[in-house]
Structure 1
Amino acid sequence: MAVAAALMATGPVVVQAQGRSPEYAAARAAGQIGEQQDGYLGVVGSQSQDIVKMVRDLNNKRRAVYTEGAAAAKSTVQEYATATACRLLADTKPGEKYQAPDGSWQTRGAAMPSRPAGCK
């Protein structure tokens, strides 16, 4: 699958590097934000405008990475984003939030979180 090959080369590394600010780390550790099934970050519950803005800004950066990666992989942006979600959800740490396929927010335990269909 071309998307998976291109993703392994750049996608998750670039996306993860975008979110390494202290504000991001604190919000993630506090369960205020989490990984969604579509490859984007989500705001968990009601959060401050600063958190909402940070998530919007990071998602805009992710979209740019996905757009570039999709062009290189000859796929759609959504296909590329979903393929990235497979890796990002797998990389969550116990105690971090993620969105389950039914849309509910869950806290990761020791087990792998539920991921989009087609993840390996």
Structure 2
Amino acid sequence: MLKKLVPLAAKASFLALATGVVVLGVSALAAPAAQAQNRDPAYAAARAAGQVGEKMDGYLGYPVPPSAEIRRMAEDINIKRRALYAQRAQEQHATVEDYAFTSGCLLISQTKVGEKYQGPSGNWETRTSAAPLRDARCP
């Protein structure tokens, strides 16, 4: 029994360490990624209109069926995010998925009043003046 617990404990410790490292790395990611995307007036307008929103997985999603133009713009941003997540995850010795999830937590916390985000239930929520609903696994 002890042999089984030791690997589990080691795995849990590694996961906690990896999550902590990812959190540190993501904070460096959030500002440049958000600044680059907010410079695009089309992105800012789509976000303000609720046509795109932050998902828990760190990527943009569509609270309403998107136009072809909105879809292209969001997919382009998601491709750039994935590349950045992959680079940062490798630097932090984390998986891209873990890094993206932690980034999603941060990006959701940075939404502004009126913007859409994906809540823990998977439903689209509209940000109010209160803190956004976040997944319990968020740091």
Whether contact under 8 Å (1:14, 1:65) holds in the other structure is no
Select between 63-72 and 38-47 the one with higher mean Cα deviation: 38-47
Residue by residue over 1:12-55, the C-alpha shift from the partner in whole angstroms, topping out at 9 and shown as x without a partner, is 12321231200000000111000001110111211210001111
Query: Over the residues paired in the alignment, what is the CA RMSD in angstroms?
Result: 1.1
Q: Which residue of 2 aligns with 1:74?
A: 93
Q: Which residue of 1 aligns with 2:137?
A: 118
Q: TM-score, with normalisation over the residues of structure 1?
A: 0.93
The whole-number CA distance in structure 2 between the counterparts of 1:65 and 1:14 is 10
Q: Which has the higher contact order (CA 8 A, sep 6+)?
A: 1
> Structure 2: which 5+ residue stretches go unaligned?
1-19
Secondary structure (helix, strand or coil) at the match of 2:79 reads: helix
Q: Which amino acid aligns with 1:15?
A: A
Q: Which amino acid aligns with 2:34?
A: Q
How far off is 1:103 after superposition?
Answer: 1.7
Select between 106-115 and 30-39 the one with higher mean Cα deviation: 106-115
Q: TM-score, with normalisation over the residues of structure 2?
A: 0.81
Q: Which residue of 1 aligns with 2:31?
A: 13
> Structure 1: which 5+ residue stretches go unaligned?
none
How far off is 1:106 after superposition?
Answer: 1.1
* 4+ long deviations beyond 4 Å: none
How far off is 1:115 after superposition?
Answer: 1.6
Select between 64-73 and 94-103 the one with higher mean Cα deviation: 94-103
Percent of pairs with identical residues: 44
Question: Which structure's residues are more often helix, by fraction?
Answer: 2
Number of aligned pairs? 119
Aligned pairs (5 A) from 1:8-47: 8=27, 10-20=28-38, 21-47=40-66
